[in-house]
Structure 1
Amino acid sequence: MENINFGPSADTPSHVLKIAPEAVAKLIKQAIAATVTPEIARSAVEGDAGALASFGRAIAVQEGHLLEAVIIALASTHPARLALTDLRLAVLPAAIEVIKRNRRTLYQGISLEAPPQTGATYHPDLVIADPRGRYALIIDVKRSLSGYLGGSKLLELQQRMTASGLILPDLLWRDHQRLAVETVGTAIIDGSKTSTDVSDGVWPLSRLDELLQIEGAARLAIESMEAFRDGIRKEWQTAIAAAVKGQRAAAETVAAEAHLSQPQTKEIAPRRRGRPPKARPSIQVGLLGPGLRPH
């Protein structure tokens, strides 16, 4: 068993990427649509704390799913290698003990019989097999390994991968049409890694050409992540604009309804100006009698 970078022509990709861009573009659109749903976007823009947290988690989850799907799509374009997914590899306790207690040189040539699917298992994101070169590569794809640092989680993951690699040759021979494998390697792809050092078995996206032996794989993988993030920003801006437009329309409706509900008072027409009224003659009041004038 070798940990990383094995097989002939590993430093010189033997296949030039030609087909994957269309498939990757479709994957990006699907990931954006699954991340920014109208309901989550509306609630998040309105300031709902739960919706904001859910939106942040959705971005991280969908980006991880997208990266895995992109790498599988890229690996599937190689004409001489098989990209296998949905494999369940047994993790034997005895294999873990062998790995923990011995140097790699003592167990890298061991191959164990693949048991029935019982007990602990490891589900790799991708297994690449090369029938002509008689080797296989177990790949685990991570959006980021930040949650694995500062503890034993990364080491435990690598041990599970190596232990499952001990039974992989027997499983491929038994369940995949007598596919013969003599060498098995493991590699973890970290989508956030910037260092190009792969001595620890962790690969950055910038070195995918070497790992997958496909020229152009690294560029397309990096561009797909950038396109996803750019798409999320645009959808978020669209959601904000829609929310602002809706708030304005609602405010205008409320104002119109308030105006209509106010009591309408009848306006009194101003008095028309003209000549002043004629003065009436003075009135005298006194005792009256027949033929007498008031006095």
Structure 2
Amino acid sequence: MSQQQPSPEDTQTDRSATDSDLRAELELLREENQRLRGQYVRARRTSYRQSALGLVSIGVVSAIGALLFPAAQTVLFALAGIGLFAGVLTYYLTPERFIAADVGERIYAALMTNETAIVRELGLSDTRVYIPHERQTARLFVPQHSQFDVPSEGDLESTFVVTENERERGLALRPTGRNLFEEFEQTLSGPLGTTPHELRDQLTDALVNVFEVVEATTTDLDAEDGRLTVAVTDSAYTFDDDVDHPVASFVAVGLATGLGTPIQTTVTTEPGNSDDVDFRVTCRWERDNSTSPRD
């Protein structure tokens, strides 16, 4: 006996049922994703609020202790003031929105893809130069030729630098590290360094402890030769032949501003290395020109 073949109507019905099931499962996954995101935000917000409550409790206890123990009033009142102030500050500065790190990286990757495509289609060189700028902190210059001259500040304000001197032609961009650097300056307790050693310590500390965009850095500085190499471990932003990687950009903008001289950067990777280094940022400058504009 021959088996009865399913009719086209039966096949179409099965497909419709499968599509309906998939749509229902997709909708459930979306709802679950939204629920988990909301739960994560609430948990983070609760953690901040609990920290604030703990600080306020310390302040209240210290204030009561100061009333009960007059001999230690000075210290206890100081603790009370610190606890109450920190508690109120923590409570009102609790973030209302948390953005996952991979969201920022995806946005960054799209922007870098566009910039890299522009550089390649214009046939520009692989040279990256961060030039200090009086009005815009610093500009990233991608020259047309590897042998180049630095354009004037006025020419650098144009995106496409086209001058009579062919060696000055290229692309001038706002560095990704410029805003980070300007934010970093707000956190400094003293002035920005003006020597390679001072800037190395300040900038690498900011990458790890202020912005937390890398887990760790290892540096190799040769001030006499005008070179700083920063080995980066566990970067929040992966490197993929980018025009202007945030880590390299931040270090270069800081050096350019502090030393007052153009900084040429090279970012290299070592696939399969065993020292957990994601990539290395090498910055070079001319020592004769490294006079800080802030002096």
What TM-score, normalized by structure 1, do the two folds share? 0.22
The structure in which a higher percent of residues are helix is 2
The structure in which a higher percent of residues are strand is 2
Of structures 1 and 2, the one scoring higher in RCO (CA 8 A, sep 6+) is 1
Which has the higher Rg, Structure 1 or Structure 2?
1
What TM-score, normalized by structure 2, do the two folds share? 0.22
